[in-house]
């Protein structure tokens, strides 16, 4: 039997995500276009996979194209104010009919269990109901929006109860008042409010564009992979007119959700098959992600990080780039290590070994994940190690390397001999490895 090493490597790489996502709540929002275009079948397969991995799913659907089609059939005119439909009594009837049809179609597709398909043996139970209490928007720019509303409250306890029973919650863009009125809501308002109320781990918007693209005058667009809330606000203030209609619609809601406690908001294309899986289970993702703060963090390592560090350094040990460290040794020396995390995954590490009698320190086990080697993480770690060595009284920093000589020379290190090492380190020098010695005054 031939071992498919690429498959094994890929399967191992997604394991941290599977463990991190199990038991977490994701809110996935998509417009009626996904259903109208027939793309929802592919999305259902991906949602089924997430559910089978223990993710608690809340789906929020729209129905704008279906509503537009129904209004045309009835020869009814409609107007918008700040992106919100003015909903009179006749329009509300079309809204209810359209949303009802879309919801039933979604429930039917979620109920599929075809053999030889990703839905084989699936048992997705769908929960929908009056989870959203709404209030009227009122008068905007002198126009009474009538039955157009906004979310007043999401019954988070009722939704959680369904999720805990293994059901998928399906929310429609309709809200109800305590007096029995029905209000037409926007997809993005319902999704953001639900994600905040449920303290969701992720809110995912499926839209027409690939993500947030910054398009400077006369240049091609650049997809912005990661933004903080502060960066998103600055982008909206600076380039709102140059952003796509979808981004102008969803990005403010993404900011609102993050400020309300949602850990991550993802804006991805609805046109890419498997976009949700690519966004969630790969390092770079496929769209744009908004977070409350920076995704990168540098901290001291703890025993719980041993597994992540081993996963990072073992490929380099196998190549002979790093000296082998077994788990027991790593656990004993873990206080020497610092790790750099990106979105809660260890992507770089380094260790510092002081020799106080000779006012010197050793930089050791510097490793960066292959996917992040052009992101400046090595420089970040080196700067941190240098600062720590100085605070410990060291005047020089040295490193032993077999394959990164140029990298260290470019950062101010000079090659020297074994005799320049601290006496204790000279006694441990491995002449079989023939590592080169580089030293830098700090």
Residue 401: what pLDDT? Answer: 93
Average pLDDT value for residue range 357-380: 90
Distance from C-alpha of 255 to C-alpha of 88, rounded to nearest angstrom: 31
217 has a pLDDT exceeding 80 = no
219 has a pLDDT exceeding 70 = no
Residue 209: what pLDDT? Answer: 93
Residues 69, 89 contacting (CB under 8 angstroms): no
Residue 3: what pLDDT? Answer: 59
410 has a pLDDT exceeding 90 = yes
Task: Tell me the domain boundaries of the chain.
Answer: 8-295, 297-441
Q: Which two tokens stand for residue 218?
A: 């006369």
Confidence of residue 332 (pLDDT cuts 50, 70, 90): very high
Residue 175: what pLDDT? Answer: 96
Residues 93, 220 contacting (CB under 8 angstroms): no
Residue 1: what pLDDT? Answer: 41
Residues 55, 88 contacting (CB under 8 angstroms): no
Least confident of 114-118, 274-278, 321-325, 357-361: 114-118
Confidence of residue 74 (pLDDT cuts 50, 70, 90): very high
Confidence of residue 241 (pLDDT cuts 50, 70, 90): confident
Average pLDDT value for residue range 69-90: 90
253 has a pLDDT exceeding 80 = yes
Same fold, 8-295 and 297-441: no
Distance from C-alpha of 60 to C-alpha of 355, rounded to nearest angstrom: 59
Residue 376: what pLDDT? Answer: 86
Residues 204, 187 contacting (CB under 8 angstroms): no
Residue 10: what pLDDT? Answer: 80
**CATH top class, domain 297-441:** alpha beta
Average pLDDT value for residue range 261-288: 93
Confidence of residue 69 (pLDDT cuts 50, 70, 90): very high
Average pLDDT value for residue range 219-226: 79
Confidence of residue 218 (pLDDT cuts 50, 70, 90): very low
Distance from C-alpha of 27 to C-alpha of 169, rounded to nearest angstrom: 9
Looking at 3.30.70.940, 3.40.50.970, 2.60.40.1840, 3.40.1160.10, the CATH number of the domain 8-295 comes to 3.40.1160.10
Least confident of 256-260, 354-358, 432-436: 432-436
Confidence of residue 436 (pLDDT cuts 50, 70, 90): very high
270 has a pLDDT exceeding 80 = yes
Average pLDDT over the chain, rounded to an integer: 90
Residue 119: what pLDDT? Answer: 54
Q: Which residue has the tokens 């126009």?
A: 143
171 has a pLDDT exceeding 90 = yes
Residue 83: what pLDDT? Answer: 77
Q: Radius of gyration of the chain from Cα atoms?
A: 27
Distance from C-alpha of 35 to C-alpha of 276, rounded to nearest angstrom: 16
239 has a pLDDT exceeding 90 = no
Residue 94: what pLDDT? Answer: 96
Highest mean pLDDT among 35-39, 54-58, 178-182, 291-295: 54-58
Q: Which residue has the tokens 């390592």?
A: 301
Average pLDDT value for residue range 377-392: 94
Residue 186: what pLDDT? Answer: 94
23 has a pLDDT exceeding 50 = yes
319 has a pLDDT exceeding 90 = no
375 has a pLDDT exceeding 90 = no
């Amino acid at each position: 039997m031939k071992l498919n090493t690429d498959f094994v490597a890929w399967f191992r790489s997604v394991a941290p995500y599977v463990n991190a996502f199990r038991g977490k709540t994701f809110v996935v929002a998509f417009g009626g276009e996904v259903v109208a275009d027939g793309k929802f079948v592919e999305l259902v397969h991906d949602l089924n996979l997430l559910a089978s991995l223990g993710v608690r799913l809340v789906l929020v659907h729209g129905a704008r194209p279906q509503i537009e089609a129904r209004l045309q059939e009835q020869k009814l005119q409609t107007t918008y104010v700040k992106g919100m439909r003015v909903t009179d009594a006749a329009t509300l009837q079309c809204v209810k009919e359209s949303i009802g049809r879309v919801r039933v179609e979604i429930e039917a597709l979620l109920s599929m269990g075809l053999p030889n398909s990703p839905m084989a043996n699936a048992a997705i139970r769908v929960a929908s109901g009056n989870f959203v209490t709404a209030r009227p928007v009122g008068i905007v720019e002198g126009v009474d929006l009538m039955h157009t509303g906004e979310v007043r409250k999401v019954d988070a306890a009722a939704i959680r109860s369904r999720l805990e029973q293994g059901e998928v919650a399906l929310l429609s863009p309709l809200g109800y008042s305590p007096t029995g009125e029905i209000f037409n809501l926007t997809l993005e308002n319902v999704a953001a409010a639900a994600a905040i109320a449920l303290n969701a781990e992720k809110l995912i918007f499926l839209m027409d564009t690939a993500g947030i693209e910054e398009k400077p005058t006369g240049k091609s667009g650049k997809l912005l992979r990661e933004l903080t809330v502060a960066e998103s606000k600055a982008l909206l203030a600076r380039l709102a007119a140059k952003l796509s209609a979808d981004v102008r619609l969803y990005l403010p809601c993404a900011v609102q959700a993050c400020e309300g406690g949602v850990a991550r908001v993802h804006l991805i294309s609805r046109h890419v098959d498997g976009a949700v899986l690519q966004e969630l289970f790969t390092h770079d993702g496929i769209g744009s992600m908004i977070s409350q703060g920076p995704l990168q963090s540098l901290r001291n390592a703890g025993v719980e990080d041993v597994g992540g560090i081993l996963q990072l350094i073992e490929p380099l040990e196998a190549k002979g780039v790093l000296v082998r460290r077994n788990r027991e040794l790593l656990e004993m020396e873990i206080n020497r290590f610092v790790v750099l995390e990106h979105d809660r995954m260890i992507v770089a590490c380094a260790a510092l070994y002081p020799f106080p009698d000779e006012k010197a320190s050793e930089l050791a086990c510097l490793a960066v994940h292959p996917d992040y080697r052009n992101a400046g993480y090595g420089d970040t770690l080196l700067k941190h190690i240098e600062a720590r060595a100085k605070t410990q009284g060291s005047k020089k920093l040295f490193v032993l390397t077999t394959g990164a000589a140029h990298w260290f020379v470019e950062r101010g290190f000079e090659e020297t001999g074994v005799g320049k090492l601290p006496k204790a380190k000279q006694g441990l020098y491995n002449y079989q490895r023939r590592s080169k010695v580089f030293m830098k005054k700090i």
